[in-house]
Amino acid sequence: MDAAHVDFIPPAVYAELLSHLHKKHSTLSPTEAVACALRLWMAQSSASRSPLRGYQWKELFLPDTTCLRMTYKDIRFFAKVIDDDIVFRGHPVTPRKMAIDIAGDGRNAWRDLWVLLPDARDWTNAARLRAQIRQRLDQRPLSPAEAMNTTLNAAMLLIRHVDHQSTTIAERRLPKHRRQSDLLDDDH
């Protein structure tokens, strides 16, 4: 890389690159290393912008390449998420349709299907995955509007309670609830 081609690289970074190439005994020239790094960076940034493919099953998202399994009468049946569809026996199906095709009507797909997510090692029951997602959603912080609504409801409840308490205290002091001996005479 000659001086005409390194104007866009800060001198300190260029020195680090030369040192790194030398330590690693790389056969790449600095120009080739910069070109490889730029190509890799561009590929990663364009790949990260591509939409995530998969099947949305109510609150459970099954990414592309997720496997589904159902065991019925000691026979295991498998399906796979391809793009945006669950493919079972060569046809796109819903989880319920898969369970019905295997075992007939009256099956609960959440209970009967097991899921192997792309980065997972173990199969997990779909109902358990759904419960985990619901638990995470319950633990998420409230939005400002939800927090204001909760606070307003609590304030209204307190106001009703205080109003009730003040009404009952005033009613206890009315003459009909007082003993005759407790009343003071208005003799001036």
Question: Both tokens of residue 116?
Answer: 């192997």
- Cα→Cα distances 153→27, 146, 160, 164, Å: 69, 11, 11, 17
In the predicted model, is pLDDT for residue 40 greater than 90? no
pLDDT number for residue 177:
60
pLDDT number for residue 1:
46
pLDDT tens, residue by residue, 58-94: 888 999 889 999 999 999 999 999 988 999 999 999 9
pTM attached to this predicted model:
0.50
Rounded distance, CA 185 to CA 179, Å? Answer: 13
